[in-house]
Structure 1
Amino acid sequence: MNTEQSKLFGQYNLRGNHLQNRIAMAPMTRSRTIGEEVVTPLAAEYYGQRATAGLIITEGSPISKVGRGYSMTPGIYTPEQIEGWKKVTDEVHAKGGKIFIQLWHVGRRSHSLIAGEQPHAPSSLKVTDRVYGPLQEGGFGMIETELPKAMTLEDIKNTQQDFVQAAKNAIEAGFDGVELHGAHGYLIDSFLRLHANERTDQYGGSKENRMRFLLETITAVTEAIGGEKTAIRLSPHVAEGAAAHDPEIIDLTYEILKALEPLNLAYIHFSENISNYQEVPDSFRTKVRAVYNGPIMVAGKLTKAKAEAILAKKQADLVAFGQPFIFNPDLVQRMKNNWPLNEGRADAHSTFYGGGAEGYTDYPFYQ
């Protein structure tokens, strides 16, 4: 094993969380719930199968009913949901793994049939998008998003409190920490973007104002559960809901990182190479390291070789894999031993959202 490989598979101390390797399982929506959006009992097996990842980040878990944008996504805002997640964390910990939950508010990427009311957003600007929800003819499928309402200051304060309460609920459920979803055009990300935020109050306009919702929210979460248990996902090189990329988002990201530095967060998670994306230049990664000293995670269609190169250049401390973890519950062992990877069935995408064990817990371990 060469030095680059040993870094990928070597242990890592993540703010006191001792990870068995630097490979993370990226958050992936699977839309499998029971009752009132409680995580399915199968989830304990699903995540437990993958507990050899250094860190698991769960599928996005809505922090409130109005924060929901996809049907059958397991929440973290009711006692029943907390109890459901406890089975997951118990199983992962029993297998020696570590697990963070991703806290999710989708903002305008929703519909009242899913959220229970008009979706919330910084401004009343519709995004051209389709989300997984109830169909008029019955069943579930992709439906067009609705025009959102511009959040009042009271809405903003309530949503920040929802994030804090969800973080507390996550710790009660046994999670090792939380990752705020601040990427992909969801609520936190939309406050940052010029095309989604036309506010004229303290939450819009200048860079400082557009950063305010993110910074206030994550600061409140760190005060509730600790910076070492709090992370955030960002996607400055991904444009969701706009044809053109935001001309200010890269500089804004540097300013966010400078402001986050004193919070001693668990990590910053950059999501890359999906949807409408730009290639990430080395100059960005170099500047990130110059302005931010905390742990960095990178995700986005990585291969083992790309992941090793990023670690070798010290551009990140952790690397996350998404779909390969769906198809390969033993992804870490396969990579470590150079065993072939499952590529998934021909109809794999049809089992990503909804359903039961098929395409969820029935992918084979290497024989």
Structure 2
Amino acid sequence: MKDLFDYCKFGDLNLNSRIVRTGLWESEREQPGNLTPEIYNRYENIAASGVGLIITELISLYPKDVFSKYTQTIHYKQFVREAKDLTDLVHVYDVPIFAQLGFVQFNKHAEHNIKVEDVTIEDIRKIQTDFIMACQKFDYAGFDGVQIGLGNYYFLTRFINPYFNKREDKYGGNTLNRLRIVLEMIKVIKETTKLHINCRLNAFDIQANGMTVEETIEIAKLLEKFGVDSLQITMPRSPQFFSKEYKDRTPPGFKSRVRKDENPLIDACGEIIKNVNIPVILGGGANSKAQINKILNETNIDYISMQRPFVADPSFLVDWQIDDEAVSKCISCNNCYWKKTSTCHINIPATWNVG
């Protein structure tokens, strides 16, 4: 039987458990982005708790992106020095850590939020170069890997999606062409860094003419072929996806019926796992030890990511190791998501510490 606290392999990495912590917003930073004692303390609590892998809060590729006011940015001068302190701290607990990298809007001079079809070849080369340089900084700062944001509605997600990408050149049209912007930079990242490359990828869309599970499988195969080391499978707008409106509608190309009490990603993630030979992480949707172990033992899924439970209590896995009936303190109110904070609005202790 599999257990969430199994020691396991994740590509070339050793994990202390099957739980992957995924971050999102970083509200405790100082301007223009410096790490604070609260941030270091939070990461130490997570690392010491029994987590397998840590993925940071989003690190924005561009300082004037719509999300950069809520996250870290790669551009402030002390980034590498402070990030090295952070990775050294996490590594004390033998926990690998990935930097999550992405952006939502592509802005150029006075033009903002440029559409995919209006991005020039010169713009594409700039985006690729910026990603590659950011990954070289991550490598120097001691990160074990990078998570490239190809899921939710980040810019590259739209670029690879037929619903948004209407280009007629070699960066549009079929699946390979739409993914070309990513594949080209992955090749260079693999050649110039030691980073494990993880891609966060949508399982499917709900709009017509968007991504189907079948096309996501095709993309996953291409990513593996070009050197991606692992995947995390997610959904475009997860809070809405669990609504009644979603459950009454089957996504295009998704043949399995979604049960009322089931995470709709499970079947899709299982199909993707069958078609690749790299680790695949199920992106969230579980909040109890029993629920996670049920998923692990009734499916081919080996790794599960969690975000909001770590916001509610960065050390919750300590209790989970000794209590088989353990449930997360998170009540899924989503205030941390909508208010774009890295702290809980319900569980507010005076301090979190490892002592």
TM-score, with structure 2 as normaliser: 0.80
Q: Is the 8 A contact 2:186 2:227 kept in 1?
A: no
Corresponding position: 1:55 with 2:53? yes
Show the counterpart of 1:343.
Answer: 330
- The 1:68/1:101 distance shift into structure 2, 3 A limit, reads farther
Tell me the residue number matched to 2:182: 214
Aligned letter for 1:107? Q
Equivalence for 2:238: 274
Deviation at 1:350, TM superposition (A): 9.1
1:207-356 residue pairs with structure 2 within 5 A?
207-226=175-194, 229-238=196-205, 244-272=207-235, 274-277=238-241, 280=264, 284-303=268-287, 304-338=289-323, 339=326, 341-343=328-330, 349=336, 353=340
- 2:329 partner SS: coil
Alpha-carbon separation, structure 2, partners of 1:282 and 1:35: 39
Instruction: Report deviation, 1:192.
Output: 1.9
Determine helix, strand or coil for the equivalent of 1:50.
Answer: helix
Quote the residue 1:24 is aligned against: 20
Alignment of 1:156-195 (within 5 A): 156-195=124-163
Compared with structure 1, are the counterparts of its residues 282 and 58 closer, same or farther at alpha carbon in structure 2 (3 Å cutoff)?
closer
Q: For 1:247-269, what per-residue CA distance to the aligned partner results, in whole angstroms no more than 9, with x for missing partners?
A: 44322211111212234533100
CA positional deviation for 1:160: 0.7
Gaps of 5+ in 2: 242-250, 252-257, 259-263
Tell me how many residue pairs correspond in the alignment.
328
How many angstroms apart in 2 are the aligned matches of 1:260 and 1:357?
35
Q: Which residue of 1 aligns with 2:91?
A: 93
Report the TM-score, using the length of structure 1 for normalisation. 0.78
Distance 1:353 1:312, change over 3 A: same
CA contact (8 A) 1:14 1:266 kept: no
Is the Cα contact below 8 Å between 2:62 and 2:68 reproduced in 1? Answer: no
1:306-363, Cα deviation, whole Å (9 max, x unpaired): 4223322453221111111111222222222224542379896499635989878856
SS of aligned partner of 1:233: strand
1:197 lines up with 2:193 in the alignment:
no
Query: Which moves more between the two structures, 203-212 or 157-166?
Result: 203-212
1:334–1:340 CA contact under 8 A, matched in 2 = no
| Correspondence for 1:33 | 29
Cα pair 1:62 1:68 within 8 Å, conserved: no
Structure 1 185/333 Cα, relative in aligned 2: closer, same or farther at 3 Å? same
* TM-aligned CA distance change 1:39 to 1:153, over 3 Å: farther
- 3-state SS, counterpart of residue 180 of structure 1: strand
Give, in whole Å, the separation in 1 of the partners of 2:110 and 2:79.
18
Task: Tell me which amino acid in the other structure corresponds to 2:201.
Answer: L
What is residue 82 of structure 1 aligned with on the other side? 80
CA distance in 2: counterparts of 1:16 and 1:151, whole angstroms: 36
How far apart, in 1, do the equivalents of 2:269 and 2:340 lie?
A: 33
Cα distance in 2 between the residues matched to 1:209 and 1:347: 36
Offset of residue 99 of structure 1: 0.9
Q: Residues 193, 75 of structure 1: CA spacing in aligned structure 2 closer, same or farther, 3 A cutoff? A: same
Distance in 2, matches of 1:92 and 1:360, equals 24
CA drift of 1:28 comes to: 1.8
1:66 CA displacement: 5.0
Q: CA deviation at 1:9?
A: 0.4
Q: CA 1:357–1:185 in 2, change beyond 3 Å: closer, same or farther?
A: closer
Letter paired with 1:169: K
Unmatched runs of 5 consecutive residues or more in structure 1: 124-149
